[in-house]
Amino acid sequence: MQFQSVEQIDQQIATIEFKMHTESMPLKEEKKLIEEIKQLKKDKPKVQQVNTKKAEVDAAAEVFTVSADAKGQLDELSAAINTIRDGKKEISDQLDQLVKEREAQQGDLPDLFKLRDELNGQIREQISLRDDKQKEYREQERLYNDWQREQRDARMSWQNAERSKRDAERDEERKKYAIEKLDDQPHTHEMTLLTQTIRFCESLTKKEDQIIEEKKEVVHDNPDTHVVLISKDKRAEEYWYAPTTKKKGGKTKSKQTATTIKHNAATFKLFADLKLEPPLKTDDIPATLAKLEEELEKYRSKVKEWEVSREEKKRQIIAGQAADGAGEEGKAEDAPQDE
């Protein structure tokens, strides 16, 4: 080979290319240079192969040189191994002798050791049997736990169904109670209280309208020769003796004046419940009656509104839109409680 490395070939190719680019030459010489470049490129793999083979040959020669030196060492090692092997044999013979002596000293111990091994085997069998029983117990326990879980689930399902049934029944009872409460007329107590108070005031006015009868005067029919003294309550008048002329007797109506009304604890409580001032005189009765009638009319209007909205509230309760009660007429605390 003309070149010993790939670098030399690359350098030669670069030199030829530089020459072709910088110098003028005939076409024949230029073709020759091109052919030389092609040949150099073909030789590059060959140079690599030659270098690889050379490295392998050098390595083999080096190994051969080392092997020649190691032969003597190998012989020495073989002799040492033989010596050690002989020593091992002697030690093995001594061990066999000691074992025989030990067996002679032990006597029945080998039988005991054999019995021990048999007992250990039985123990292992019992342990294996115990493990099998424990495994079977765990399996039965697992099945029992699964059965208990199924029973709990079934019991819980039944309880939920019963609870739902009771809830539905209580809901129906609440609706029924709310509907029944709607039938109770509201403000009955207030209207009754107002009616009683009006009657009480009217009874006071009737007493004042009664006719008061005056006492009849005594008519004197004595003779003219007799003198009759005037009564003590009329002695302040200008007459010193009773006139002989007779006065017309009869009933007269006296003018009615305002009188004070006497109240007791019951009447005061009656007006206090209505948040009204009790009439202290008969002149206050008409104004009090007007207030009472006004309040009574308000409650009558509320009752009319209740009558109009009662059916609609019933429908809402049945539909479940107002199942918590009947509004102002049916409070939640009035509903029946479950035990």
- Give whole-number Cα distances, 268 to 10, 209, 276, 327, in Å: 136, 24, 10, 32
Q: Per-residue pLDDT tens for 19-43? A: 877 877 787 888 888 888 888 888 7
d(CA 301, CA 326): 19
Number of domains within the chain: 1
Q: Per-residue pLDDT tens for 159-198? A: 999 999 999 898 888 888 887 777 777 788 888 888 888 8
Q: Which of 313, 302, 303 has its CA nearest to residue 179? A: 313
**Residue 198 within any structural domain of the chain:** no
Q: Is pLDDT of 250 > 60?
A: no
**Residue 47 within any structural domain of the chain:** yes
Residues of the chain with pLDDT > 90, as a percent, come to: 16
Cα 78 to its chain centre, rounded Å, is 87
**Residue 336 within any structural domain of the chain:** no
Burial 256-295 (b: 16+ CB within 10 A, else e): eeeeebeeeeeeeebbeebeeebbeebebbeebbeebeeb
Tell me 282's DSSP state.
Answer: G
**Residue 249 within any structural domain of the chain:** no
Say which residue, 162 or 245, is predicted with more confidence: 162
Region of 320 (left: φ > 0; alpha: ψ -120 to 50; beta: rest) is: left
**Residue 148 within any structural domain of the chain:** no
Average pLDDT over residues 127-146: 95
Structural domain including 74 reads 6-102
* Radius of gyration in angstroms for the set of CA atoms belonging to the chain, rounded to a whole number: 71
Q: Per-residue pLDDT tens for 61-90? A: 666 555 556 677 788 888 888 889 888 888
Q: Give this prediction's pTM.
A: 0.33
**Residue 233 within any structural domain of the chain:** no
CA angle 325–330–333, rounded 5-degree value = 80
**Residue 84 within any structural domain of the chain:** yes
**Residue 172 within any structural domain of the chain:** no
Residues of the chain with pLDDT > 70, as a percent, come to: 76
